[in-house]
Amino acid sequence: MDFLNAILEEVINFFGASAILDALKTENYAFFKSFDGIVSCIFLALPILLIAEFFIVLFKERVQLKTYKVNFIIIVFNRMVGRALSLGTIFWSIGFFQEYALFHTSYTWYWFIYGYIIWELGSYIYHYFGHKVRLLWCLHSPHHAAETMNLSVNQAHFFLEFPYADLIRTATCMLLGVDPKLFFSILILDITYATFIHIGEHIVKKGQFGFLGNLILTPSHHRVHHGKNPLYMDTNFCNLLNIWDRVFGTYQSEEKSHPIEFGITREMDSGSFMDVYFGEFKALYKDISHAPGIKNKLLYLIMPPGWSHTGEHQTAKIVRNQFLNQQ
């Protein structure tokens, strides 16, 4: 029994939830009703759900194992590098941009609603340009490389995407008056829900959530976002509230007549860490090296994926519009 307790303690400490262990040891059960207690339980529950999902895949859907293999390598690398860059960017952005806020909010429930809407705007901006600017797509593409959907996909990002995303989101929130305490509360909730919406069909089959799907972004909506079908390209950029997708015309529901095909359109090996993590940079370098003139070389950096100096563009917008016009 002592051996099992030791293992449990190591697992809890590994996932950063040592406060849970302290509360259990001291029988301080009131801790679990506090904000810190709820957050600690959420942060412990998500990795446990990911592990449970992994074992379901291991025994029932082994075809997904290569996705887990690559994503876990990315998780290890990103934890060593990306997290420090991300936290540093957030704290610097708060200190710099809050000084220029249009006004200031307070830590109340109604400002929390306002803050979340503004957070979603910042998330939408960073996410949108991550799909529309070729260089930024190189950072974001590892997140879309998987040909299946599961919780590990949420962790698959190029490490430099973290400071870029956090700069945009934090700057947007600070300039529009979101209180830093509100900001961190929203950040915790968003990290939690952003993980959940990547849950696979082997755990949550449809993931449409009935009438709630009209108000929030569901796992079904986010599966659409990860689809490479022409109908689904570059849609559903929000995380929890799909308000900005509806405002900017990028909302798309899942259609039964169009089963989702996960992945990206480039020919690639989704089981190769090097191809998933660096493949888009290699493709970009190839396009730049073959482009005539400085102007075309620079345009490859900032134009959408699929743009060509020859004029034979195959951007997501063009491909999707061609598909919709044929319907």
Q: What is the pLDDT of residue 3?
A: 44
3-state secondary structure labels for all residues of the chain: CHHHHHHHHHHHHHCCCHHHHHHHHCCCHHHHHCHHHHHHHHHHHHHHHHHHHHHHHHHHCHHHHHHHHHHHHHHHHHHHHHHHHHHHHHHHHHHHHHHHCCCCCCCCHHHHHHHHHHHHHHHHHHHHHHHHCHHHHHHHHHHHCCCCCCHHHHHCCCCCHHHHHHHHHHHHHHHCCCCHHHHHHHHHHHHHHHHHCCCCCCCCCCCCCHHHHHCECCHHHHHHHCECCHHHCCCCCCCCECHHHHHHCCCCCCCCCCCCCECCCCCCCCCCHHHHHHHHHHHHHHHHHHCCHHHHHHHHHHCCCCCCCCCCCCCHHHHHHHHHHHC
Q: What is the pLDDT of residue 77?
A: 61
Q: Bin 311: left if φ > 0, else alpha if -120 < ψ < 50, else beta.
A: left
User: How long a stretch of residues is the chain?
Assistant: 327
pTM: 0.79
pLDDT tens for the chain, residues 1 to 327: 444 455 445 444 544 455 555 665 666 656 555 655 555 555 555 554 555 444 444 445 444 545 555 656 666 666 556 666 777 888 899 999 999 999 999 999 999 999 999 999 999 999 999 999 999 999 999 999 988 887 778 778 888 898 899 999 999 999 999 999 899 889 888 888 888 898 888 778 889 988 888 889 999 999 999 999 999 999 999 989 989 999 999 999 999 999 999 999 999 888 888 898 899 999 999 999 999 999 999 999 999 999 999 999 999 999 999 999 987
Compute the half-sphere exposure of residue 178: CA atoms within 13 Å on the CB side of its CA: 27
Q: What is the pLDDT of residue 314?
A: 94
Q: What is the pLDDT of residue 40?
A: 55
